[in-house]
Amino acid sequence: MLVARLLSKIFEKNGGIVLIDSQGQKYICGKPNLQKPLTIKLLKKDLNWKLAISPDLNFPEAYMRGEIEVENGSLLDFFNMTFENLGSSEINIYGSIVNKILHTWRYITNYNQPTKSKKNVEHHYDKGEELYDLFLDEKHRQYSCAYFIKDDESLEDAQQNKLNHIIKKLDLHPGQKVIDIGCGWGGLAFEIARQTECEVTGISLSENQIDYCKKKSKELKLDNQVQFKLCDYREVKEKFQRGVSVGAFEHIGKKFYKTFFKKIKDIMTDDGLFLLHTIGSVKSPGAVQPFIQKYVFPGGVVPSLSDLMNPIEKANLVLADCETLIHHYDKTLKIWLERFIKNKAKAKYLYGGEFVKMWECYLSMCSAAFKFRDLVVYQLQLVKNFAAIPSNRRNYIYSNNLL
């Protein structure tokens, strides 16, 4: 059986599973715990060759349709074991070829113009507020990597740590104007306004998010300090002393990296500072994950550091600081997954069983990928000239901090 051979090769180092095909035939792949082995049941015959040819897409799609069942463990357990054995290697040569073809086609046909960018954002963020209340932190509704100073911290505390860390890096001073590109549900903008005497403008392409932010700003009595606009970053004309973007750059598209950084250069004052917080890969530029691209983030791309540096240099920006956050997002995603599973019945009522399986697969796969594969979070601090930041750069970030 093709897929049994593939899994046996993956698990030849550590762990293993029992695979049961659609005819009930059992295969021992690797060295599973035979008393209570993690078991994968394939309920359709054609999965034998589909999973061997394009596992990155066909496995999650089959799981969504109820054609794959996991016993004696969770989907996260399976992805963790698989990705721990794979590391940053491809699953197999066939999947690698398919992914490269899809990546090439995606690059050729991807034009994230404002209209298409808005449509892509709406696909993910305008599914209804109920979805995100099922798993995000209650205080700030942060849909990005938290910052765990201690392993046993709550999600709420870790997200507050993240916001505090970003605010430190922005080196904010009273009266400065700040732009938040891709402001989400306004958590960072509100926190900047609360902690400083700055004026904050948040922009997003999600109508749901902007409507939420405007109502929330009045509720918090911060509408005199914070404003929100439904607009594309390319439409911004105003000048700002500080800027930040958290979790939005992944939606920009590689063809528009130069456009993005040139816009940052244009809208920042000469003494301006911009902080970019983005998911990234530690590998060379490569193919996007086809399941995430198709079902979760259409138009989304995870940049390598080398993808970022050339357009930053072309825009005449200076990389003043770069921090790589490792083993923070896998913890964040694991907590999101646990909260989502706890609310699975409500999610199924709101969105249907196939959506629930898709979302479970998305959160599980991403958590395992951040833990064992090539994914990290980059925080890049960008300035227009050397005088824009204190000479003791790291001191002002970490002094009197929680670290």
Both 268 and 390 in one domain: the answer is yes
* Residue that terminates a domain, selected from 104, 129, 149: 104
pLDDT at 97: 38
In a domain, 276, yes or no: yes
**What is the pLDDT of the chain when averaged over all its residues?**
89
* Residue that terminates a domain, selected from 71, 104, 137: 104
Both 169 and 72 in one domain: the answer is no
Q: Which residue has the higher pLDDT, 147 or 10?
A: 147
Largest CA distance in the chain: 70
User: Do strands 26-30 and 177-181 pair parallel, antiparallel, or not at all (unpaired)?
Assistant: unpaired
User: Terminal CA-to-CA distance of the chain, rounded, Å?
Assistant: 52
Both 78 and 199 in one domain: the answer is no
DSSP for 190-235? HHHHHHSS-EEEEEES-HHHHHHHHHHHHHTT-TTTEEEEE--GGG
| Residue 391 clears pLDDT 90, i.e. is over it | no
pLDDT at 378: 98
Question: pLDDT tier at 150 (50, 70, 90 boundaries)?
Answer: very high
In a domain, 267, yes or no: yes
**What's the whole-number mean pLDDT along residues 225-253?**
96
Both 199 and 285 in one domain: the answer is yes
Query: Is 366 a catalytic site residue?
Result: yes
The encoded tokens of residue 302 equal: 């995870």
Q: How many CA within 13 A on the CB side of residue 270?
A: 1
Both 46 and 169 in one domain: the answer is no
Both 89 and 178 in one domain: the answer is no
pLDDT at 365: 95
pLDDT at 111: 53
In a domain, 403, yes or no: no
The encoded tokens of residue 318 equal: 């200076």
Question: pLDDT tier at 89 (50, 70, 90 boundaries)?
Answer: low
The encoded tokens of residue 90 equal: 């491809």
User: Do strands 177-181 and 240-246 pair parallel, antiparallel, or not at all (unpaired)?
Assistant: parallel
For residue 352, give every residue at least 6 positions away whose Cβ sits within 8 Å of its Cβ, in sequence order, or none.
none
pLDDT at 147: 97
* Residue that terminates a domain, selected from 53, 88, 104: 104
Both 385 and 354 in one domain: the answer is yes
In a domain, 337, yes or no: yes
Both 51 and 115 in one domain: the answer is no
Range of the domain at 30: 2-104
Tell me the per-residue pLDDT of 117-130, one tens digit each, with 9 for 90 and over: 545 444 444 466 78
Both 243 and 125 in one domain: the answer is yes
| Count of the separate structural domains present in the chain | 2
- Residue % of the chain over a pLDDT of 70: 88
Q: Helix crossing, 2-10 with 75-86: angle to 10°?
A: 70
pLDDT at 298: 85
Question: pLDDT tier at 64 (50, 70, 90 boundaries)?
Answer: very high
Residue pair 40/70 in contact (Cβ under 8 Å)? The answer is yes
Both 98 and 144 in one domain: the answer is no
Range in 28-37, 230-239, 292-301, 349-358 with the lowest mean pLDDT = 292-301
pLDDT at 344: 96
Both 85 and 227 in one domain: the answer is no
What is the CATH classification number for the domain harbouring 213?
3.40.50.150
In a domain, 78, yes or no: yes
Both 100 and 153 in one domain: the answer is no
